[in-house]
Chain A
Amino acid sequence: MFRVDDDAPHRLFGRHEQEFKGLDEVRVDFVPPFDEDELVAEEEKKLRVRFELRNTDPAIANALRRIMIAEVETVAVDQIGMMQNTSIIPDEVLVHRVAMVPLAVDPRHVRKGEALFFELTITCKGKPQNVYSRDLLFQPDESQTAAFPDQKEYWSKFNPRPVHSDILLAKLLPGQQIHLRAVCTVGKGQDHAKWSPVATATYRIMPKVDVNTARANGELAQAIKQACPRDVFDIEDSGALVATDPRRCTMCRECVRLDEFKGCVELYRVSDHFIFSVESVGSLPPLEIVRRAILVLKAKAVAWKRHLHSLQATS
């Protein structure tokens, strides 16, 4: 546990004695959403997950976060064949826009060596027209029929499509035309961000708010409660201050900043308690991303054990 000083948030006040917990103590808990999540649309809530990881090392928490961002596989557009583009948006810009569209395809369904093809064929007639991601249509490919003769039938049950149908890709005037063919492959975020399955994957360290009830009561308690912009505190019947919801604390230090608040509240970080927040772009459910990240982490650790243990044999 670290104490956070009142005037220097970047400087940790010193490490408080904290015994390493037993390895058996690693804990994962799913936590209910915070109040501000109420502002998020129902649809988007399905793309988020919050969980807490306790009694482990920051290295593990950070590895998990990095893997979610960069090493969990997804499917994205890799190459584009541009047959026709007479719109005002240049080829390279259009290609980039198309490539960033998240695809609702589970990479585990893609067989080894298989590529998925999407086509966008649109000619503007009559009035000016918008091109949206829904115009990208899955096309089972003939050039792969030898390797995957059942591609059409196989993929019909998974229905490959863009996650969002209304992403604006281009605008066309009458007579303008776009015709392109996109080759989609399995990849990782460390290659290009378009393969990253998460919009955000972050963790924060659990805040701990200690109240000195002997000092913080009566009017002073009221003032501290008022000062907190995150509603961390409440007043007990006795008039004493209590920290009811330390998870909401952002370490803004409003409760310790003023001279008259000195000695009332102490802020700490619990250095082995991580609050994760994962938001999927939609190609995979968020819980599945976390699960696969743990599997990647495990595979990495196993591979490293093998690599390092084989070192002895050779040297």
Chain B
Amino acid sequence: MNAPDREESVLLDETTEVKVGYKVDSKIVNSADFIFVKEDHTLGNMMRMYMRIALAKTSKSHRKLLEDATVRFAGYRHPHPLETLIEMKVRTDGSVTALDAIQNATTNLNKEIRLLEERFRDARDQYNESVGMM
């Protein structure tokens, strides 16, 4: 009877909720808290990992992943099982803001996923061809 609507745990209620919350932490220098509403470990873990990785362009064709020295700390938690949200804490060394760092991370993430899609498509076409030949 009083059970919450199933969709409530998945869909963002745009009238009352904001997808991303952002607050600069006043107690720790160069750090900020982000809240991702209606997201789970799928995104949380990816974001955390990519916060720790920086993308350096070593030559025209070759991009390289490096440990991101500007990010001192990046961690996330899922505070309560009944609340589908992710809290993320980011601390940088001060050369960039936490917001810059997280934006950079999403850019890197996008690049890698686009590449993954491309590589998957090629591999699938190749596979379909080889299966067709048999």
Q: Which residues of A contact B108 (CB under 8 A)?
A: 23
Which residues in window 84-106 of A have CB below 8 A to B? none
Q: Closest chain B residue to A290 by CB distance?
A: B120
Q: A20-B64, A63-B46 are contacts. A298–B124 as well, Cβ < 8 Å? A: no
Say whether A297 faces chain B, with CB atoms less than 8 Å apart.
yes
Contact between chains at A59 and B45 (CB < 8 Å): yes
Contact between chains at B46 and A22 (CB < 8 Å): no
Which residues in window 80-109 of B have CB below 8 A to A? 99, 102-103, 106-109
Proximity string of chain A (274-315) to chain B, C-beta cutoff 8 Å, 1 when within and 0 when not: 000000000000010011001101101110110111011001
Instruction: State which of B48, B111, B117 has its C-beta within 8 Å of the C-beta of A23.
Output: B111
Q: Closest chain B residue to A69 by CB distance?
A: B42
Q: Which residues of A contact B124 (CB under 8 A)?
A: 28, 30, 287, 291
Say whether B66 faces chain A, with CB atoms less than 8 Å apart.
yes
Q: Which residues of B contact A308 (CB under 8 A)?
A: 20, 99, 102-103, 106
Say whether B115 faces chain A, with CB atoms less than 8 Å apart.
yes
Say whether A12 faces chain B, with CB atoms less than 8 Å apart.
no
Q: Which residues of B contact A290 (CB under 8 A)?
A: 120
A70 to chain B, nearest CB (A): 8
Proximity string of chain B (52-88) to chain A, C-beta cutoff 8 Å, 1 when within and 0 when not: 0101001001111111000000000000000000000
B104 to chain A, nearest CB (A): 10
Bound CA–CA A23/B58 (angstroms): 11
**The stretch of A129-137, A186-194, A256-264 that contacts the partner chain:** A186-194
Contact between chains at B99 and A22 (CB < 8 Å): no
A22 to chain B, nearest CB (A): 5
Instruction: State which of A24, A291, A298 has its C-beta within 8 Å of the C-beta of B61.
Output: A24
Contact between chains at B42 and A67 (CB < 8 Å): yes
From B112, B119, B123, name the one whose CB has the most chain A CB atoms within 10 angstroms.
Answer: B119
Bound CA–CA A304/B51 (angstroms): 14
Number of interface residues of B (CB under 8 A): 50
Say whether B43 faces chain A, with CB atoms less than 8 Å apart.
yes
Contact between chains at B6 and A21 (CB < 8 Å): no
Contact between chains at A60 and B123 (CB < 8 Å): no
Which residues in window 44-62 of A have CB below 8 A to B? 51, 53, 56-60, 62
Contact between chains at A22 and B103 (CB < 8 Å): no
Contact between chains at A23 and B99 (CB < 8 Å): no
Q: Which residues of B contact A192 (CB under 8 A)?
A: 6
A138 to chain B, nearest CB (A): 25
Instruction: State which of A53, A301, A315 has its C-beta within 8 Å of the C-beta of B113.
Output: A301
Q: Which residues of A contact B48 (CB under 8 A)?
A: 59
A1 to chain B, nearest CB (A): 16
Q: Which residues of B contact A62 (CB under 8 A)?
A: 41-42, 45
Q: Closest chain B residue to A287 by CB distance?
A: B124
Q: Which residues of A contact B63 (CB under 8 A)?
A: 22-24
Bound CA–CA A259/B41 (angstroms): 42
- Interface of A toward B, CB cutoff 8 Å: 20-24, 26-30, 51, 53, 56-60, 62-63, 66-67, 70-71, 188, 190-192, 287, 290-291, 294-295, 297-298, 300-302, 304-305, 307-309, 311-312, 315
> Given contacts A191-B10, A301-B110, could you give 11 more A-B pairs where the C-beta distance is less than 8 Å?
A20-B64, A28-B124, A30-B123, A56-B116, A57-B53, A59-B45, A60-B116, A192-B6, A287-B124, A294-B120, A308-B99
By Cβ-Cβ distance, the 6 closest A-B pairs, closest first, are A59-B49, A28-B123, A30-B127, A20-B65, A23-B63, A305-B106
Can you pick out 17 interface pairs between chain A and chain B where the beta carbons lie within 8 Å of each other? Answer: A20-B65, A23-B55, A23-B63, A23-B112, A27-B119, A51-B123, A57-B53, A59-B46, A60-B113, A62-B42, A67-B42, A70-B42, A294-B113, A301-B109, A304-B43, A312-B99, A315-B99
